[in-house]
Structure 1
Amino acid sequence: MSNSTVAKRYAQALFKLAQQKNSITEVGADLSELTKVIKESPDFLTLLNAPKFSIDRKKQMVAEIFTGATPEVLHTVQLLVEKKRVDEMKLIAKTYAELAAQAQGTANATVFSTRALSAEESANISLAFAKLVGKQSLNITNEIDPSLLGGIRVQIGNHIYDSSVVNKLERLKRELIG
């Protein structure tokens, strides 16, 4: 079984459990925090993979570290430790976030711009592009890309909407040169 299949199954199971307990948002927030911990402390995964510690000790450490986490997330991480699949945590969190967004009628979008977007600009972009992909709203992540020269590029899943100055100049160049 490929890693993405394993992560998808764990994420789907966790999502169904969170749905039953009406804790989709809380579980999502805990998974987001878990992802931050993994990014900021890569040694955390190394520790959980270390053969020096017993599985029971690793599960105890996880319980001590994530005392404020929802039981669903805590048990999932402990299960991943037990099954020696801790390297799947980031992908599980990402897949869970996609499932939660889909269930809530939202989608994640990355907006590339030459400067930071204001809250009003983000809201307007969310409103306009959400309709294009059949969603109620978008969770926007703004990334600064000075090479665009102006305008924006919006990526929603596999869809890219590019209205940047660089893209328009490139199109004009193709039309003129042939």
Structure 2
Amino acid sequence: MSNQAVANRYAYALFQLAEEKGILNEVAQEMELVKEVVNSTPEFLQFLGHPKVTADKKRAFIETSFKGSLSETSLHTLHLLIENKRIDSLVDMINSFKGMSYEAQNMAEAIVYSAKPLTGEEQAQIAEIFGKKVNKAKLLVTNVVNKDLIGGLKIRIGDRIYDGSVKSQLDRLERQLIAGTR
């Protein structure tokens, strides 16, 4: 079975359990914390995935690393991944869980590329306008500054890309001029 299929199964089980217990937001925040730790400390997954380290030591490591930060549900999920030797699916599982959690709450993430940093008010306007376009009640905006854009915005929401950047328009004009259609 592929790593993504395994991750999806664990994510779905965690999602159902968190939704049933009414702690979906809490578990989503905890999983984001775990993902931040994994991304900032590559040795974390290396230790948990090492075949010579016993499962008991790995569980103890998880307990001490996240003491007081994770609910019983989140800890149990991490323990299951360790016991079943599926810890390599952790990041994919968290991403799948996040997607399910957002879908259940009618939310989406938007990455907005701009030539200069956006103000909070501009981000709120983008969230409101594009939230309606993609039929989501809430849009979480992350601004990424990209000096190559020259001006305008490029917005990515899931698989959709809305490109209103000056660079894109200039590239399009260049292609039309080369093709002789303009």
Q: TM-score, normalised by structure 2?
A: 0.93
Cross-structure match for 1:126: 127
Once residues 63 and 118 of structure 2 are traced to their aligned partners in structure 1, the CA distance between those partners, rounded to angstroms, is 39
Matched residue SS, 1:172: helix
Matched residue SS, 1:52: coil
Once residues 76 and 35 of structure 1 are traced to their aligned partners in structure 2, the CA distance between those partners, rounded to angstroms, is 14
Matched residue SS, 2:126: helix
Deviations, residues 48-96 of structure 1 (Å, cap 9, x unaligned) = 1222321122112211211120111100011101111111111111111
Cross-structure match for 2:84: 83
Matched residue SS, 1:161: strand
**How far is the alpha carbon of 1:171 from its aligned partner?**
2.4
Question: Which AA in structure 2 matches 1:24?
Answer: L
Percent identity at matched positions? 39
In structure 1, the gaps of 5 or more residues are none
Q: TM-score, normalised by structure 1?
A: 0.95
**How far is the alpha carbon of 1:137 from its aligned partner?**
1.8
In structure 2, the gaps of 5 or more residues are none
Deviation >4 Å, runs of 4+: none
Once residues 126 and 136 of structure 2 are traced to their aligned partners in structure 1, the CA distance between those partners, rounded to angstroms, is 13
Cross-structure match for 2:45: 45
How is 1:8-87 mapped onto 2 (pairs within 5 angstroms)? 8-68=8-68, 69-87=70-88
Number of residue equivalences? 178
Question: Which AA in structure 1 matches 2:86?
Answer: R
Question: Which AA in structure 1 matches 2:67?
Answer: T
